[in-house]
Amino acid sequence: MSNAALRTILPLAGWSETLADVVEITGGADPVLPTPFRISETAAATLAAVGLAASDLWKLRTGREQRVAVDTRQATASLRSGHYLTIDGTYVSPAPNAVMGTYPAKNGRWSYLHCNFPNHRAAALKVLGVPEDRETVRKAVAQWDALELEEAIIAAKGAGGMVRTMDEWAQHPQGMAVASLPLMEIIKIADSPAEPSPPGDRPLSGIRVLDLTRVIAGPTCGRTLAEHGADVLKISAEHLPSLGRQEYDTGHGKLSAHLDLRDQKQKEILRGLVREADVFSQGYRPGTLAGRGFSPEALAALRPGMVVVSLCAFGHVGPWASRRGFDTVIQTVSGITTRQGEVFPGAAPGPQFYPVSAIDFLTGYLMAFGAMVALGRRAREGGSWHVRISLAQVGRWLVSRGQVPVAELKNVAKDFTPDELKRWSMTSETPVGRLQHLSPVLRMSETPPRWARTMVPLGHSQPVWPARPA
């Protein structure tokens, strides 16, 4: 398989594109699953980039090189790892809420309602003025102009959007704002002395990561950093909506504590954790945590040498910079679901989602890559760093990789073989039972990725750091 997609990532780190040649990418090319988008190429590329960044940190520690390899099919499976979970032998269904989905609106347009979280579902139902019933929702949406419904749901603090074509998105003010941005930014935001890596036998041994992210993309970043030895402490709060089951997928390797930042004492606990951390990963809309005193600049002042990783939905510029969004929302408004529905129609007419959460997982892998690149820069030259990325930027990059010709999209398998899934899976004993899940994908010759901790439920741990290796 070509390493072309990887070559577009490496310049983000200031690395030569020729570094892609040292990575072994096997397992064939797109299409692996039924979509015209090059999800397999990009999955392999983002994971390979993670491997190169981990190898760079390992070389800083030891002076030794190591080999990096990625299997494309296994990388593709990782883009929907939440579909391959069992607890004590019982399948954990990833099925969305019944009223979540796309609906025909007026004038031949379509609307998407994101209703997995109770607060977003309540917002959509309130705007529509109907109970939680799919047929009733369908009839209500049919009475709306799709653009007006999009704005009404956003105003009600919900999530969703009007289904657009790619051409419409390219001409939309937010689409143009996203097009003005690179895939990701790694920016020095303050000076501080160079910091050698803490002692340890893994690329990220002794590195402490605060994970203030939710759903899939941000938590995947923390999970990926944990694969390479970081101590990751997820911080959530009891009042925040959660599906619970997503931790079975993205919680591997992490501790997990509750802190309510509306409470001054608990906010001070977080400040104390920040002072002893290395990475602060957050997935709130731009400016949200700044109001709590945790802007990138404030974090760098509190802990000189901090690496701040910021994720949002639509980017930090443009009229939609403060909007809520998810992988499926980005697919909807940017034309991906329109194209997917044209090439792979569903049982009913209309737009379709591609068969994985590609934007989410690609974003999470890229966040981890950016964090490790910034840690490498901190070790060499010092400074506090800000890694900035959005789902929309990653969606644009995915689309920019081109599409598989329609003639090559015949008889594409919908899933992997049972033997493949068995080979790629592992079992962990967790507080909620015996969890079967996918293993790390990357193959590294000296420091094979692994999770030193099993998944725990939200709030299971105390908000304290474990001791660093001696």
Backbone angles phi and psi of 189, in degrees to 5 = -115, -10
Report the pLDDT value the prediction gives residue 239, as an integer from 0 to 100: 81
Torsion of CA 393, 270, 377, 369, to 10 degrees: -40
Give the type of residue at 344.
Answer: F
What tens digit of pLDDT does each residue of 196-210 get? Answer: 988 899 999 999 999
Report the pLDDT value the prediction gives residue 468, as an integer from 0 to 100: 82
Q: Pull the structure tokens for residue 213.
A: 């992210």
Q: Pull the structure tokens for residue 271.
A: 């400040």
Instruction: Write b or e for each residue in 281-315: b if 16 or more Cβ atoms lie within 10 A of its Cβ, otherwise e.
Output: bbbbbbeebeeeebbbebbbebbbbbbbbbbbbbb
Report the pLDDT value the prediction gives residue 290, as an integer from 0 to 100: 76
One-character DSSP codes across 245-289? THHHHH-TTEEEEE--TTSHHHHHHHHHHHHT-SEEEE-SPTTTT
The stretch 326-351 carries a mean pLDDT of 94
Query: Does the pLDDT at position 287 exceed 80?
Result: no
Q: How confident is the model at residue 3 (pLDDT cuts 50, 70, 90)?
A: confident
Query: Does the pLDDT at position 351 exceed 70?
Result: yes
Burial grade of 130 (CB within 10 A; 0-12, 13-18, 19 or more): middle
What tens digit of pLDDT does each residue of 53-106 get? Answer: 999 999 999 999 999 999 999 999 999 999 999 999 999 988 888 899 999 999
What tens digit of pLDDT does each residue of 93-152 get? Answer: 888 888 999 999 999 999 999 988 888 999 999 999 999 999 999 999 999 999 999 999
Report the pLDDT value the prediction gives residue 94, as an integer from 0 to 100: 86
Report the pLDDT value the prediction gives residue 196, as an integer from 0 to 100: 92
3-state DSSP percent of the chain in helix, strand and coil, to 5? 40, 15, 40
CA–CA dist 267, 116 (Å, integer): 28
Q: Pull the structure tokens for residue 135.
A: 């047929």
The pLDDT mean for the chain works out to 94
Q: Identify whether the C-beta of residue 142 lies closer than 8 Å to the C-beta of residue 301.
A: no
CA–CA dist 13, 49 (Å, integer): 10
What tens digit of pLDDT does each residue of 251-261 get? Answer: 999 999 999 98
Q: Answer yes or no: pTM beyond 0.85.
A: yes
Report the pLDDT value the prediction gives residue 117, as an integer from 0 to 100: 86
Q: Pull the structure tokens for residue 309.
A: 């990783």
Q: Collapsing DSSP states into helix, strand and coil, what is residue 72?
A: helix
One-character DSSP codes across 191-242? -----PPPS-SSTTTT-EEEEE--TTHHHHHHHHHHHTT-EEEEEE-TTS--
Report the pLDDT value the prediction gives residue 348, as an integer from 0 to 100: 82
What tens digit of pLDDT does each residue of 404-419 get? Answer: 999 999 999 999 999 9
Contacts of 200 (CB under 8 A, 6+ apart): 61, 206, 229, 468, 469
Report the pLDDT value the prediction gives residue 466, as an integer from 0 to 100: 93
Report the pLDDT value the prediction gives residue 2, as an integer from 0 to 100: 65
What tens digit of pLDDT does each residue of 40-67 get? Answer: 999 999 999 999 999 999 999 999 999 9
What tens digit of pLDDT does each residue of 216-257 get? Answer: 999 999 999 999 999 999 999 888 777 777 889 999 999 999
Residue whose pair of structure tokens reads 């699953």 in the numeric block:
33
CA–CA dist 1, 399 (Å, integer): 18
What tens digit of pLDDT does each residue of 25-42 get? Answer: 999 899 999 999 999 999
Specify the DSSP element, H or E, that contains 312.
strand 307-312
Name the percent of the chain lying above pLDDT 70. Answer: 99
Find, among 229, 221, 176, 224, the residue nearest to 202 by Cα.
229
The stretch 342-368 carries a mean pLDDT of 94
Report the pLDDT value the prediction gives residue 419, as an integer from 0 to 100: 97
Q: Collapsing DSSP states into helix, strand and coil, what is residue 120?
A: helix
Query: Does the pLDDT at position 1 exceed 70?
Result: no
Report the pLDDT value the prediction gives residue 97, as an integer from 0 to 100: 86
